[in-house]
Copies of this chain bind each other. A is one copy, B any other.
């Protein structure tokens, strides 16, 4: 039993909260799963469909809005044949979500599985293992040490 009054209202309004805004751009499960596919480098419509089991019509719609919101873009490429095909790739804006995806993945590995990862994430340069987390120089900051205060300039 705690004996202090809890906070009664969020320090940041919905319109000014990056997290809340982010939810409008990545609002549902399918969108996350598609991002995960593109993160893995799976680019083609039918391949994404097969991997995550999404109906074509839904995939079609999601891809369109993700292009609209600037998360992804269409890109042409050549496969073995003469025919030009095209797939989807993350934009920079989409790539900036990679830390979120990785954090989510590692959270799921820890709490929703036996704790073992199925994927080893490393620095492609040095091979050093990589983790997602809160960063200070020199290491990961535990969540409990995180403090927050309204920014000096912004209006909340």
Question: Contact residues of A with B, CB < 8 Å?
Answer: 1-12, 14, 16-25, 27-29, 32-33, 36-37, 40-44, 47, 50-53, 70, 75-80, 84, 87, 93, 95-113, 116-128, 130-141, 143-156
Contact = CB atoms under 8 A, between A and B. Distances in A.
Contacts of A107: 18, 22, 96-97, 99-100
B7 A19 contact: no
> Chain A interface secondary structure, helix, strand, loop or mixed?
mixed
A76 to B, nearest CB: 5
Copies of this polypeptide in the complex: 2
26 contacts: A5-B79, A6-B44, A7-B41, A7-B42, A9-B51, A10-B36, A10-B42, A12-B118, A17-B36, A18-B109, A18-B118, A19-B32, A19-B36, A19-B108, A20-B52, A40-B148, A96-B111, A98-B146, A102-B146, A103-B132, A117-B154, A118-B150, A119-B150, A122-B148, A123-B146, A130-B136
